[in-house]
Amino acid sequence: MRVTVVGAGVLGTMHAWQAVERGHQVVQIEREEEARGASLRNFGQLWVSGRAGGTELAAALRARELWERIGGRVPGLGFRANGSLTPVRGPLECAVAEAATARRDATARGYQMLTPGEARAINPALRGDFTAALLCRQDAAVEPRTAQLALRAELLKSPHYTFLPGREVRDVVGAAAVRDDRGEVHHADAVVLCTGAWLGGLVRELAGPKLPVRRVRLQMMQTDPLGEPLTTSVADADSFRYYPAYASAALDEFNARQPQSPTAAGHRVQLLMVQRADGGLTIGDTHEYEHPFAFDTVEDPYDHLAEVAESLLGRPLPKIRRRWAGVYAQCTDPGRVVHRQQVSDGVWLVTGPGGRGMTCAPAVAETTANELGW
């Protein structure tokens, strides 16, 4: 088959990967010289721990398996099975973590409650005070700023793959045929649009104004090297409030009796922290849903995140060297990992994984390939 993939973020690149692996001719088109969206601006976490049970968890676990398999072939992904720790303090936070370990799918996630000593044996950098910690062994990480580049370098070894950067697809001009802004028409047997948070223009024209996908803006930051290994990803108890895996009566009580600080609540803040290959820490994040989004970043949530991170590490953070904002597209249909829709003859739109994007992209692409009969 001939497959055209529009978009070179992680979702588009994984669709190209699936097609090439199945022996098809692939043209991948990217409107920027390199993808610059959420795929590069995230933590690089493969976050199984917080995923909703059922379809979403199954996709995350399958994707985790695929990431590890691809990482063995493409070292530039920086894949590492580092797991995660969520330190908790006091009875309310502990109760939420314990409720998670009582889930029927807790074993599949690799959940385990640890004492502070057991947690520090796994991650000695956590020198702050906490009561216990929730371990998720299935969580992992890759390097978001280099993952797509490494995947593409591997794809370019195939004579079946062509990458066309700096081109924007403007029109669908026939069955599985699209025209770019240079006037070139690309004919294929299937076109997959993986346009990320770009939901206007051609996407709106094809999918209509009621696309069940919203845009979400986040703020994050990165430090200088920590000077020691942070051997796991780290989250704080506020993350329980934002992930469906932690829904329980214990979470309801936690939300009612221990609300977030005004800054954290106002910016919908949770701490997620991952060490990069250079030793620096990626730390975030906030969530903004109301349009129009601000063009600038706000300092208060950064101050809050730094304070929480330092309380868990028991030491000052290294110098903050980068701050940024990013926008991703999030499917609003409950229970769906991604919005997948045929929008024209031979043309499919795949969008809206939201915060699941980096985690689930390989499984989403595999499902697309299976459903389209690749």
Q: Please name each of the domains of the chain with its CATH number.
A: 2-41+145-208+337-371 (3.50.50.60), 84-137+213-331 (3.30.9.10)
Radius of gyration of the chain measured on its C-alpha atoms: 21
Is pLDDT at 36 greater than 90 in this prediction?
no
Contact between 113 and 263 (Cβ < 8 Å): no
Confidence of residue 151 (pLDDT cuts 50, 70, 90): very high
- Helix 249-257, helix 90-101: angle, nearest 10: 160
Least Cα distance to 317 among 284, 281, 285 occurs for 281
Task: List pLDDT tens digits, range 331-374.
Answer: 998 889 999 999 999 999 999 999 999 999 999 999 999 999 99
Structure tokens given for 23: 């022996």
Task: List pLDDT tens digits, range 282-336.
Answer: 999 999 999 899 999 999 999 999 999 999 999 999 999 999 999 999 999 888 9
Q: How far apart are CA 298 and CA 80, in angstroms?
A: 32
What proportion of the chain, given as a percentage, has pLDDT over 90? 96
What pTM did the predictor assign? Answer: 0.96
Task: List pLDDT tens digits, range 83-111.
Answer: 999 999 999 999 999 999 999 999 999 99
Q: How far apart are CA 361 and CA 15, in angstroms?
A: 8
Structure tokens given for 312: 């868990």
Q: How far apart are CA 115 and CA 112, in angstroms?
A: 10
Q: What is the pLDDT of residue 334?
A: 83
